[in-house]
Amino acid sequence: MAINIEFSDRLKELPTYLFVEIDKAKREAMAQGRDIINLGIGDPDLPTHKHIVDSLCDAAKDPSNHHYAFDAGLPKLRAEIAVWFNKRFQVNLDTDTEIYPLIGSKEGIAHFPLGVINPKDKVLLTDPAYPAYRPTIQFAGGKVISVPMKAGNDWIPDLKKIEAYKDIKMMVINYPNNPTAAVATKEFYQGLVNLAREKGFIILSDMAYSEVYFEGKKPLSILEIEGAKDVAIEFHSFSKTYYMTGWRLGWACGNKKLIAALAKVKTNCDSGIFQAIQTAGITALKTSDDVIDEMRQTFQDRRDYLINGLRSLGWKIEPPMASFYVFAKIPKGFNNSMETAKAFLDKADIVITPGVGFGENGEGYVRMALTVSRERINEAVERIRKIL
């Protein structure tokens, strides 16, 4: 006889993951034979670079890589991360205590709260924010407190409001930001680090889009700020920089005690990263600057192409300075972001992401990803022209 199986209370409390719903709607439309242009999910359309793929293939043939991996990652990978980080941010990292490779940065961000958050601990989360952050806090029993971000303040939280919160255990930040594409200033980072040290809370910084920036304006790492290593852990990803979204490889770095907490959780959850993928990661980190510049130029060209096209329709949009997202106010004639996204799919066969899916402060905006070719962007603009 079948028993009555129910989801746990913690699962029942979670909303449906935004991008699962978007993907479901996209697949249903495609099943009807419709030509869908997907500007919804940020998954680069270009293939992983050949030299990285070749490195994986060679490493996969090596029998020494066919066993359980080191929990802390290959020493050579950690060493190469340290070299890359010092070159990019002029920050020294101890390869044994301040770096920990991950099965993608999202996995690390999901596991980290389990190592530092106790039930009912208060965690500050910006609003709007990448939807995956909230469940990671809730799974650990933490209480999420939304910190509003507004366009008028360049999508950066007000430090005075953060200072007013009491008994905070952690704050989650993400710059370059998803969904808004905002970039943090040195002044914000310095003020936040000072507050964290003064009030005794942890900073979790997600920097998955660190290398997707435009016009030569490099985003800062919070670890560049004096005193940040006392309070901060930062998460980095191979996904966007090297077109490796499906490979699942990233790393955490920063305060050694925070790294140790993450490591202890992970040793009880997984058995490390397939060593052939780690070897490919080493190759990726050695990629020529020219290749990465080409990636940035590709997304900048698409950004300009999309924005100029939408501006020609009377849609007022400011170009983002980083990430591959355009976060724009909904066009005239629409009442909210869900209505806008539905109209784009139903009437133009275009998938976009409603801003409200990132939090109540995202309402009134939609997010469009620059992860399709210029030809498809041009087609999207022409379809939008017919419904605006």
- CATH code at 247? 3.40.640.10
Q: Is the pLDDT of residue 24 over 80?
A: no
State which of 254, 285, 316 marks the end of a domain: 285
Q: What are the CB-based long-range contacts (under 8 Å, 24+) for 255-260?
A: 255/98, 255/229, 255/230, 255/231, 256/94, 256/97, 256/98, 258/112, 258/115, 258/116, 258/202, 258/232, 258/233, 259/97, 259/98, 259/99, 259/100, 259/233, 260/97
The boundaries of the domain holding residue 147 are: 64-285
> Does 267 fall in a domain?
yes
pLDDT at 13: 81
Same domain? For 264 and 326 the reply is no
CATH of the domain at 301: 3.90.1150.10
At 186-208, the pLDDT tens digits run 999 999 999 999 999 999 999 99
Query: Model pTM?
Result: 0.95
- Work out the pLDDT band at 17, boundaries 50, 70, 90: low
At 263-317, the pLDDT tens digits run 999 999 999 999 999 999 999 999 999 999 999 999 999 999 999 999 999 999 9
Same domain? For 35 and 77 the reply is no
Same domain? For 36 and 94 the reply is no
Pairwise CA distance, residues 251 & 307, whole Å: 33
At 33-53, the pLDDT tens digits run 889 999 998 889 999 999 999
Quote the number of domains for the chain: 2
Same domain? For 107 and 186 the reply is yes
Coil vs helix vs strand at 206: strand
User: Which of 363-381 are b and which e, b meaning 16 or more Cβ less than 10 Å from the residue's Cβ?
Assistant: bbbbbbbbbbeeebbebbb
State which of 285, 308, 332 marks the end of a domain: 285
Q: Is the pLDDT of residue 209 over 80?
A: yes
Same domain? For 18 and 141 the reply is no
Q: Is the pLDDT of residue 110 over 70?
A: yes
pLDDT at 34: 87
